[in-house]
Amino acid sequence: MTTSDDEPTATIRAAAGYLRTWLEAQAAHRRVPGVQVAVRSGGELVLSAAVGVADVGTGAPLTTEHLFPVASHSKTFTATAVLRLVEAGRLRLDDPIGAHVPELAAASAPIARATVRELLGHQSGITRDGGHADFWQLESPFPDREQLLAEVLRGGVVHARNEHFKYSNVGYALVGLAVEAVTGRPFAQHVHDAVLHPLGLTRTGADHDPARAGEYAAGHTALLLGEASRQVLGHDRTGVYAPATGFWSTAEELSAFAEAALVLGDDRLLPDDAKRIMQRLETVVTAYGTEIGRYGLGVDLTTVGERHLVGHSGGWPGHITLTLADPGTGLVISVLTNAIDGPAQELAHGLVKLVDVALEPRAQVPAPPADAPPLTAFTGRFAGLWGVLDVVELGGRLVLVRPTLADPLHGMEELQVVDAGTLRVAAEPGFGAAGELVLLERDDAGRVVALRLAGVTHRWTGSLR
């Protein structure tokens, strides 16, 4: 990065208005019912926003206070709780699960020898959800302890230990039983006291809370096969599955948790050496000859541009969510959507890319002449037959963004200010208007009302934040 250590957060803060504007365009273009987002940098919440509706049936606006089931984000909470117990000397990562779940040891089940580490890293070989998992369609209750263990003992082992990465909610449910055995307390209560309370998180919990039913954003079915409407879905308790998928939160609080649990230099929950254990590469997940992911202990490992990020996604009936954290710089982005086809990953990755464009030019262009108007005199949203263009100030520069594309880097251009009526596209190789002049039309008050890019006119449609 070209910015100094004290500049990135200020730059991201200045870009936050456009991050929200881009998010609004994406949600509208993709017909997502609602999106909640939070962005943190340098320990500061630089953006918290909600767009769209909480429930398409009632039309109630989505707010930043609405609760979302965040599903497999639960695994990061669980891994953090386990590492805190390890730090306290109450549990070892290499403990066999049978040492804490006596039913498995008593039955001499092979899974009893799987370690806590193997379960956290999805290397135990145990089934994902068992043979009867229509609770994922909200057609039956989630299993209780007796049902879970019966499923495991009935033949829950699919692979040998450490033979293959095998993502497993059942495995995390077993880890939750180990936490209860070690602490002598219900899992949800222990996590509240050990993880949530120290951070002051009051809008986060380990399992659905019916007493707060009115605070949840509704879930929605996907738009399939040309359908134009969505059905509203309810919520359910996850019981013994809570360590794998039961947690609920807001984007603000989820990002606050990720900052404390995953960013280096913050010791409120874990020291850095414990975080490095969580974030260490346990598995490169390769299927059918293609890498499809990387995993540590309770965290996905992801690369977006040049950033190596950690975090987790979540898929709950009617909700898709994702949180990403850069452990070194402290950038955290959490995106929560309330539809089962919600593009949480695309939105989160897009926000990371926009942040990095603000921090680092993609191409160098000459500085504006001394008598040029301020950059804000050129900004706005423009539309033509071929789409929508945003001319936006990011990082003290003018950048052209096509806000309806899933990847904001596609078609993005750095712009040079030539004079009050002319911009120039950076002279980079490309199929578009690379190196060409962008001619502006202004009204009598000096406001831009149209621009001509590659000879094609786009009319001004509105201001940008």
Amino acid, res. 127: T
Distance CA 251, CA 327 (A): 18
When pLDDT is cut at 50, 70 and 90, the band that residue 465 belongs to is: confident
For residue 119, pLDDT over 50 is answered with yes
Q: Which residues contact 449 (CB under 8 A, 6 or more apart)?
A: 441, 442, 443, 459, 460
Q: For residue 274, is it left (φ>0), alpha (ψ between -120 and 50) or beta?
A: alpha
CA-based nearest residue to 39, from 321, 253, 308, 255: 255
Residue range 354-370, pLDDT digits in tens: 999 999 999 999 999 99
Residue range 166-208, pLDDT digits in tens: 999 999 999 999 999 999 999 999 999 999 999 999 999 999 9
pLDDT for 132 equals 92
Q: Which residues contact 202 (CB under 8 A, 6 or more apart)?
A: 253
CA-based nearest residue to 66, from 195, 224, 254: 254
Average pLDDT of the residues in 200-220? 97
Rounded to the nearest 5 degrees, what angle is found at the Cα of 313, between the Cα atoms of 312 and 315?
145
What are the Cα distances from residue 160, in Å, to 48, 149, 291? 44, 18, 21
Name the pairing type of β-strands 456-462 and 437-442: unpaired
CA-based nearest residue to 177, from 276, 278, 103: 103
Average pLDDT of the residues in 212-219? 97
Please name each of the domains of the chain with its CATH number: 1-360 (3.40.710.10), 375-462 (2.40.128.50)
CA-based nearest residue to 15, from 360, 363, 255, 285: 360
Whole-structure pTM over 0.85, yes or no?
A: yes
At residue 333, the 3 state secondary structure works out as strand
> Which residue bears the tokens 């208005």?
17
Average pLDDT of the residues in 151-178? 96
At residue 24, the 3 state secondary structure works out as helix
Name the pairing type of β-strands 397-401 and 413-419: antiparallel
Largest CA distance in the chain: 85
In DSSP terms, which residues pair with 417 in a beta bridge? 423
Q: For the chain, what percent of residues have pLDDT higher than 90? A: 96
Residue range 314-369, pLDDT digits in tens: 999 999 999 999 999 999 999 999 999 999 999 999 999 999 999 999 999 999 99
Burial of 429 (0-12, 13-18, 19+ CB in 10 A): exposed
Residue range 408-461, pLDDT digits in tens: 999 999 999 999 999 999 999 989 999 999 999 999 999 999 999 999 999 999
At residue 360, the 3 state secondary structure works out as coil
Q: Are 140 and 129 in contact (CB under 8 A)?
A: no
For residue 4, pLDDT over 90 is answered with no
When pLDDT is cut at 50, 70 and 90, the band that residue 2 belongs to is: very low
CA-based nearest residue to 324, from 335, 340, 315, 337: 335
CA-based nearest residue to 323, from 268, 270, 251, 265: 251
Q: Which residues contact 191 (CB under 8 A, 6 or more apart)?
A: 77, 78, 81, 179, 206
Amino acid, res. 11: T
Torsion angle of C-alpha atoms 350, 352, 357, 359, degrees rounded to 10: 160
**Which tokens sit at 458?**
């786009």
Q: Helix 251-262 vs helix 272-279: angle between axes, to the nearest 10 degrees?
A: 110
pLDDT for 228 equals 87
In DSSP terms, which residues pair with 462 in a beta bridge? 381
Q: Are 449 and 460 in contact (CB under 8 A)?
A: yes
Distance CA 50, CA 250 (A): 10
Q: What is the DSSP string of 369-416?
A: PTTSPPGGGT-EEEEETTEEEEEEEETTEEEEE-TTSSSTTTT-EEEE
**Which tokens sit at 263?**
């960013």
CA-based nearest residue to 78, from 377, 354, 297: 297
At residue 242, the 3 state secondary structure works out as helix
Q: What are phi and psi of 42, to 5 degrees?
A: 60, 35
For residue 254, pLDDT over 80 is answered with yes
Q: Helix 251-262 vs helix 74-87: angle between axes, to the nearest 10 degrees?
A: 30
For residue 252, pLDDT over 90 is answered with yes
Q: Are 143 and 239 in contact (CB under 8 A)?
A: yes
Look at the alpha carbons of 263, 267, 272, 275 in this order and tell me if their dihedral is positive or negative. Answer: negative
Amino acid, res. 134: D
Rounded to the nearest 5 degrees, what angle is found at the Cα of 195, between the Cα atoms of 351 and 343?
25
Number of H helices, E strands in the chain: 11, 21
**Which tokens sit at 397?**
């520069």
pLDDT for 226 equals 84
